[in-house]
Amino acid sequence: MAEDPNATTAQDASSNFLSQCSPARPPILRSSLPDNHPVAPTINAAFQALLKYRQITCLLVDQQHCLLHICGDDLGLLGEYGKDITSKNILDLLPASLKLPTSIVLNRAQTDGEAKCSGCAIVPPPNGQPYTVTIAASRDITSDTREVLTVLIERDDHKHLESSVELQTTELIEVNNRLRAKVLEQRQTEQKLAHQAQALARSNADLEEFAYVVSHDLQEPLRAMTAFSQLLEQRYGQQLEASAQRYITHIVDGGTRMKAMIDGILELSRISNKQITHSPASLEQALEIALENLELMRIENQATITHDALPTLYIHKNHIVQLLQNLIGNAIKFRGPDSPHVHITAEQQASGWLFSVHDNGIGIPQPQQKRIFKLFQRLHNQQEQEGYGIGLAICKKIVEHYQGNLWLESAPGEGSTFYFTLIVYTCQSES
């Protein structure tokens, strides 16, 4: 099939455009700007405006006049075309006749915001005709620490020179104003978020301090109430009616539960408020301590505890003891019809360690899984299971202290697996 002689491709059109702009050297587009530089979004918009005109060299330079970005070199002024010339001083790259006027324009633009110099002579390569150019520069303030200068060099014999320069300058100013507004908006948003974060941190600290002080001060009157109730029962229990004895029992039980809750609140406060010293701690030894504390519960429920090899980490030992003790204790407490079996795993990851505590217990329904880590949230009433809804809240607090996460996978009748991560340093294992 014969080709249509009148048909033109995009490549042909592009070649024609380039030859019209500069027969000797096509436009170049090269940059040393990072992608996240605040000026980068303006470059394409600015260059699109400049493409409406011919015989233009457009450059972006920093305060030291070092080349940051080449939008186009239709005039062929850059003597080292084809080499990596970004980050070089443009005064070293331009023809000798343009060095002084360009330096003057750049210095004035840094001071006044913009500057222009017309009638600068250019001596072209052999067989070329001399011509004059206009040099214009404008300051583009994009951040507190860096200024970028836009440099335009255009032939004076271009039609409508003044109007083109003014139009280009106007378009660049509009783009710069939009960028400046976005930068200002972003800074205001960042400042607002920073203030909110500081206020929230202060509020949390105040609440934790309040909880600690109140809980600590409640211990003494609570201890007195419980002690006197027990003394009353011991001395006068035989003289009291059955109902009165029952009332005293309720008072003692209530005091015991309240003490457990207060102890839990105090423990939560200690995790965040007290200065904690971290040191190498063997998780094998921490697990042994936790199992010793759970010895009676293990024996009564005939529970079996197994584990993989556990590391030595730079961590507070009491934290990991409490964490393992609460998770294992819950696994034994909420047992199924079979004897409890709990297995602990440890896996090192790129950012820290991943642990799991798996059991064969009764499991936890999906709707209840979202609230079990909240303080005083219980899944069963007091008659079904003992507990005060504090243990898992303490576990979550400990894990978050080490920038980790705590979550579970569970289904009724299929047991539960609690996962937690710890972002801590690994130490050499103890010999």
Domain edges within the chain: 12-159, 196-260+263-272, 277-427
Specify the residue for token string 């060299």: 57
How many CA atoms lie within 13 Å of 368's alpha carbon, on the beta-carbon side?
12
Q: What is the pLDDT of residue 380?
A: 52
**CATH number corresponding to 12-159:** 3.30.450.20
Query: At 30, is the secondary structure helix, strand, or coil?
Result: strand
Q: What is the pLDDT of residue 266?
A: 67
Q: What is the pLDDT of residue 35?
A: 57
Please list the alpha-helical segments (H only) found in 51-122. 90-93, 96-112
Q: What is the pLDDT of residue 55?
A: 75
Cα-based distances in Å from 44 to 88, 192, 352, 422: 22, 31, 43, 46
Q: What is the pLDDT of residue 431?
A: 40
Taking the C-alpha atoms of residue 261 and residue 390, their distance in angstroms, rounded to an integer, is 7
Q: What is the pLDDT of residue 5?
A: 47
Kindly report whether the global pTM for this prediction surpasses the value 0.85.
no
pLDDT (tens place) for every residue of the chain, 431 residues total: 444 444 444 334 333 333 333 333 334 445 555 555 555 555 555 555 555 555 788 888 888 899 888 877 878 888 655 567 878 899 988 988 899 999 999 999 988 888 999 888 887 766 677 788 899 998 865 555 457 888 988 887 654 455 556 667 777 888 888 888 888 888 888 888 888 877 776 766 666 666 666 666 666 777 777 788 888 878 877 777 888 888 888 787 777 777 766 666 666 666 665 556 678 889 999 999 999 989 999 999 999 999 999 999 988 888 899 899 999 998 998 888 889 999 999 999 988 999 999 999 988 888 787 778 776 665 554 444 455 567 888 888 889 888 899 999 998 888 999 999 998 877 765 44
Q: What is the pLDDT of residue 312?
A: 93
12-159 and 277-427, same CATH topology:
no
Helix (H) or strand (E) holding 349: strand 341-349
Mention the CATH class of domain 277-427. Answer: alpha beta
Quote the tokens at residue 119.
Answer: 């009638």
Quote the tokens at residue 18.
Answer: 């380039």
Quote the tokens at residue 94.
Answer: 């331009």
DSSP letter at 430 equals P
Q: Closest Cα to residue 134, out of 148, 114, 110?
A: 114
**Burial class of residue 275 in the structure, from the number of CB atoms within 10 Å of its CB (0-12 exposed, 13-18 middle, 19+ buried):** exposed
